[in-house]
Amino acid sequence: MAPHLVQPGWRFWRQAACTLGASVQHRTWAGVSRIPRLGSPWGATATSPRVYRSGFSTSPRAPEVMLTRERYPVRRLPFSVVSGEDLAAFERIVPGRVITDPEVLEASNVDWLRTVRGSSVLLLRPRTTEEVSHILRHCHERNLAVNPQGGNTGMVGGSVPVFDEIILSTALMNQVISFHDMSGTLVCQAGCVLEDLSRHVEERGFVMPLDLGAKGSCHIGGNVATNAGGLRFLRYGSLHGTVLGLEVVLADGTVLNCLSTLRKDNTGYDLKQLFIGSEGTLGVITAVSILCPPKPRAVSVAFLSCPGFSEVLQTFSTCKGLLGEILSAYEFMDAECMWLVTHHLRLASPVQESPFYVLIETSGSRAGHDAEKLNDFLEQVLSSGLVTDGTVATDHMKVKALWALRERISEALSRDGYVYKYDLSLPTERLYDLVTDLRARLGPRAKHVVGYGHLGDGNLHLNVTSEAFSPSVLGALEPYVYEWTAEQRGSVSAEHGLGFKKRGVLGYSKPPEALRLMQQLKALLDPKGILNPYKTLPAQA
């Protein structure tokens, strides 16, 4: 990112604030920049999520994670068990990359949220599509179950084994295959880390069409397999639109090459769409072709205090009208989220305390024009009382620091205790009612009930924490949350997918006819059910 938007905007903002909100207290970036970058609370926000996420999961104080097969009522399906002959066969396919060391396996058996834990005894690290094909052909013949794994940053237990599935890691499939400078088309292996790809295309004047908190660890193949949404969804839309092609290895080892780099291709059914969001249950994605938009010349972030949720909504309407095509993100978080990131991660809030906070990002091609639009917007929301305090950043590091307040909520939650996570699509006008409702319902049983998320996409991240896993809290939450969502015709998984933990609730958002067709598709593409079993689709009776 090359932020050129600037002092004019910033100056205006302070001026407007002084004129329009006499009682408003301002802590500005000028103050913030006096704090030394490294080692300071603000400095921490500049570190890569790759660092803090893995740092967190290996934290010595982290308690042992209960085995999934013990915590949940799930029964192992009659797959074969890995034999010495299998190990020898795999050693021939991926020599030196057949891992059986329990210590190495531990990290791949546990999800990063530390809520589920498999007991796989085998991790394979192919480098090529051909190797993946050979591995799956062998597994298919031998009826061995496989758990495809990218960066293992999933939220619903989809990326780790449930029992002893073989872990098929894409970690070594991390090569960029090509990048086309005129069209912005990137072709790469599935195991490329999102942040590395971002860097690669940004050096060439483009950006990745998706961005998420886990960017430092997550793999592009995993992003596509979960149909990740993230922080740029509002501007660049869904992966169903931006992914141009996929290479996928099917359950029997067949390589399906749909790795097109064309923006338009209406020759027959668009097969790649089947695999976007299928969570590795229909095939293993080995390469991705994706359209990258041009890198914006100017990026600004405004972080604002809102007195109520109704003001959050009205600010969104105003912002769509006045920022138009340069609006690239509209995120919100409540006061409890701010407490969590300031308390557990020691980040500092740059604005006055308030019931709600909004983060607005603009990305455009002309800094001066963008600044004018942003200023007009800020003047309007301030003068109308929709916003009571705020700060604007255009400098890259400051933009990152503001984003960290929103991006690191998930990490702060994990430090608060056991986390019950819900990722819901709801009509925006009712989005926050569920949070208020649950606070009353749970009372002191919950440490925190928080709401934040991608308001611009109608996507609420609802999180509840308690000291430790508690069946009573879970019982108060489920099926209540799902029923509430279904009543609003919402989605019980907006962007996280279903994985292992949510597969039973598919029926709250999809009718039986859809579920039946999904099961037929699974049977067609993976007749033995070896690909990521116990995930996505409900257990069949």
Which C-beta is closer to its own copies: that of 55 or that of 324?
Answer: 324
In Å, what is the CA distance from 109 to each residue of 67, 90, 535?
Answer: 9, 19, 15
Shortest separation between residue 233's beta carbon and its own copies, angstroms: 7
Q: How far is the CB of 507 from its own copies (least distance, A)?
A: 9
Nearer to its own copies by Cβ, of 285 and 404: the residue is: 285
Q: Least distance in Å: CB of 283 to its own copies? A: 10
What b-and-e string marks burial along 49-64, b requiring 16 or more CB atoms within 10 Å of the CB? bbebbbebbeeeeeee
Least distance from C-beta 537 to its own copies, angstroms? Answer: 7
Separation between Cα atoms, residue 273 and residue 243, nearest integer Å: 9
Q: How far apart are CA 172 and CA 489, in angstroms?
A: 41
Q: Which is nearer to its own copies, 166 or 214 (CB)?
A: 214
How many CB atoms are closer than 10 A to CB 417? 17
Shortest spacing between CB 509 and its own copies, in angstroms: 4
Nearer to its own copies, 352 or 428 (CB): 428
Report the residue number, 175 or 520, with the smaller CB distance to its own copies.
Answer: 520
Structure-token pair, residue 61: 């104080």
- Closest contact distance (angstroms) between CB of 155 and its own copies is 11
The CB-of-389 to its own copies minimum distance in angstroms stands at 25
Nearer to its own copies, 442 or 505 (CB): 505
Please name every residue paired with 393 in a beta bridge, in sequence order, or none if there are none: 301
Separation of alpha carbons 472 and 477, rounded Å: 9
Cα Rg of the chain, angstroms: 23
- Which two three-digit tokens encode residue 507? 């029926």
Q: Which of 243, 341 has the CB closer to its own copies?
A: 243
Identify whether the C-beta of residue 334 lies closer than 8 Å to the C-beta of residue 473.
no
DSSP states of 98-157: EE--HHHHHHHHB-TTS--B-----EE---SHHHHHHHHHHHHHHT--EEEESSS--SSS
Rounded to a whole number of angstroms, the minimum distance from the CB of residue 39 to its own copies is 38
Q: Which has the closest alpha carbon to 97: 130, 122, 133, 120?
A: 122
Residue 128 makes CB contacts below 8 A (sequence gap 6+) with 173
DSSP-assigned states of every residue in 412-467: HHHTTSEEEEEEEE--GGGTTHHHHHHHHHHGGG-SEEEEEEEGGGTEEEEEEEES
Structure token pair of residue 430: 């009712």
* Helical H segments across 166-212, by residue range: 194-202
- CA–CA gap between residue 201 and residue 188 (Å, rounded): 12
CA 295 to chain centre: 21
Q: Please say which residue, 188 or 276, places its beta carbon nearer to its own copies.
A: 276
Least distance (Å) between residue 37 CB and its own copies: 31
Q: Which is nearer to its own copies, 122 or 360 (CB)?
A: 360
CB of 270 to its own copies, least distance (A): 5
Phi-psi region of 209 (alpha: psi -120 to 50; beta: other; left: phi over 0): alpha
SS3 219: strand
Cβ 97 to its own copies shortest distance, Å: 26
